[in-house]
Structure 1
């Protein structure tokens, strides 16, 4: 039992996929914590003498005033993959995090931990990364101690493979031998807590297994107990799809599509961490 945590951590994005795991880890490690969310119902079970649940909206700076009082470290998992509720990537990934950063600076917070994504700087031209990296720039220039965590894809993002596999076929671009190692939210939450004491400004991290897209496709089909049927499309089709959605749709539609199709075109291998396996996750989801 950890009773030495004198730090008070504020977590933003506590009701999201990763945020939920970070909230659980903070509670289990006996941190003094403030969990903020637009809807606090799902967080009520975490409330205790040392854990406060606060209703606030990071997109509305007036709701944030005073929330960082007494806080030593802020962890933000705030970000969207798909634009909804009329909010854009710039509204959430950049401006909402900037609102939180400004409040943290005002209250004298020492450290700010932000979860972005792998190779963000390389892919700044993608709509999702444009907003994330604009915030990373602001964080670097803030004067606060900071850590940018760059995970190599979440297990939850891999559900697209399961959705395809339901119909008995997986479609991949190129030869399907592109490798990467996505990470489970529970493992990534451990990394987020380790970042509190870390002296690094950037942590690049992936899951324990380096997998090809073919292997991930096979796992998804296996989870649905379907025969292995993977169809490989030429890479020009992928490029044409990206061009088409960028030309004829809004960023609400093309943002996540260009993100996934661009990152899956080449190897993205991060330092390995964690114990949770993708094939088990797939089986739990079916």
Structure 2
């Protein structure tokens, strides 16, 4: 990796925190954009400069890319908050960063989208992400688009359901995916920083069905396996009802979850961290309370 000056947007998030750790370990000069500097763990590091800014407010980003070789953006929202929409954050905020990157002559822009996002543009979350992907590809900058499978942090939803004693799945539960740990994904991203104009789809080392994931969650909590399989027509009716009767803020993340979890999402295998171990660590936190 030749890059030494990296701007990292979204440094306090699940993936961003791992990216920041590895970039610093590799002695890169990093400027981290954060809303709340108190959330960062590496304040005293020689290789880190913290800049407080709101990516949704372009005036706070003025000249932030000066002297930067590479921008890495993990900016995006799964569950909308602060009255902001997917278009406000996943598209417009990243466009604000891209505008500054172009102005400053940044060489390379790395953006984190999601697996099969280009095939699901009808979903609100992907509509915004892929609109930015299109803009990045036509920007003239070198780009890398990372399309990870589900994060381990997203898989905590199954653990949460298991704590109540029962997990509900739509269909057979045989739909397969290979979720990835944030640290493994961060390593992939940093290893591809010298690649340009590339899209990388990546997942974790274990291909698991939704039934498998549910069983791992129950096992971590030492609870009996209780899985209820709901008919697929109910999933489709749920999506229709949510789109019809609720706001995008409510239905966006559920629409995403219900659609993506209804099909196989298998990406190239990578990493050495396993969901089983992640669940055991997380279960201990549940049991501490």
SS at match of 2:50: strand
Coordinate RMSD, CA, aligned: 1.1
The one-character-per-residue Cα deviations of 1:15-67 (angstroms, maximum 9, x if unpaired) are: 11111111111111111111111111122524433211111111010111111
In structure 1, C-alpha distance between the alignment counterparts of 2:74 and 2:89, rounded to whole Å:
11
1:111 and 2:142 correspond = no
Which residues of 2 match residues 263-278 of structure 1 at below 5 A?
263-278=260-275
> Which residue of the other structure, out of 150, 154, 158, is the alignment partner of 1:157?
154
Q: In structure 1, list runs of 5 or more residues that go unmatched.
A: none
In structure 1, C-alpha distance between the alignment counterparts of 2:246 and 2:25, rounded to whole Å:
44
- Superposition deviation, residue 200 in structure 1: 5.0
- Superposition deviation, residue 242 in structure 1: 0.7
- Superposition deviation, residue 6 in structure 1: 5.0
1:255 and 2:286 correspond = no
In structure 2, C-alpha distance between the alignment counterparts of 1:50 and 1:218, rounded to whole Å:
43
> Which residue of the other structure, out of 192, 207, 210, is the alignment partner of 2:207?
210
In structure 2, C-alpha distance between the alignment counterparts of 1:92 and 1:99, rounded to whole Å:
10
Checking the alignment, whether the CA contact within 8 Å between 1:151 and 1:183 is kept in structure 2 is yes
In structure 2, C-alpha distance between the alignment counterparts of 1:202 and 1:225, rounded to whole Å:
40
Which residue of the partner structure matches residue 186 of structure 1?
A: 183
SS at match of 2:42: helix
Which residue of the partner structure matches residue 244 of structure 1?
A: 241
37-46 vs 49-58, greater mean Cα deviation: 37-46
Which residues of 2 match residues 34-45 of structure 1 at below 5 A?
34-43=31-40, 45=42
1:54 and 2:51 correspond = yes
Q: In structure 2, list runs of 5 or more residues that go unmatched.
A: 284-289
Which residue of the partner structure matches residue 143 of structure 1?
A: 140
> Which residue of the other structure, out of 130, 134, 137, is the alignment partner of 1:133?
130
The one-character-per-residue Cα deviations of 1:55-94 (angstroms, maximum 9, x if unpaired) are: 1111010111111111000000000001100111000000
In structure 2, C-alpha distance between the alignment counterparts of 1:6 and 1:76, rounded to whole Å:
16
Which residue of the partner structure matches residue 230 of structure 1?
A: 227
Checking the alignment, whether the CA contact within 8 Å between 1:75 and 1:114 is kept in structure 2 is yes
In structure 1, C-alpha distance between the alignment counterparts of 2:105 and 2:138, rounded to whole Å:
15
SS at match of 1:129: helix
Q: What TM-score, normalized by structure 2, do the two folds share?
A: 0.96
In structure 2, C-alpha distance between the alignment counterparts of 1:127 and 1:70, rounded to whole Å:
35
SS at match of 1:36: strand
The one-character-per-residue Cα deviations of 1:260-281 (angstroms, maximum 9, x if unpaired) are: 1100111110000111100111
Q: What TM-score, normalized by structure 1, do the two folds share?
A: 0.97
**Count of residue pairs the alignment pairs up:** 283
- Superposition deviation, residue 220 in structure 1: 0.7
SS at match of 1:186: helix
In structure 2, C-alpha distance between the alignment counterparts of 1:58 and 1:248, rounded to whole Å:
31
> Which residue of the other structure, out of 193, 196, 204, is the alignment partner of 2:193?
196
Checking the alignment, whether the CA contact within 8 Å between 2:2 and 2:194 is kept in structure 1 is no
1:13 and 2:10 correspond = yes
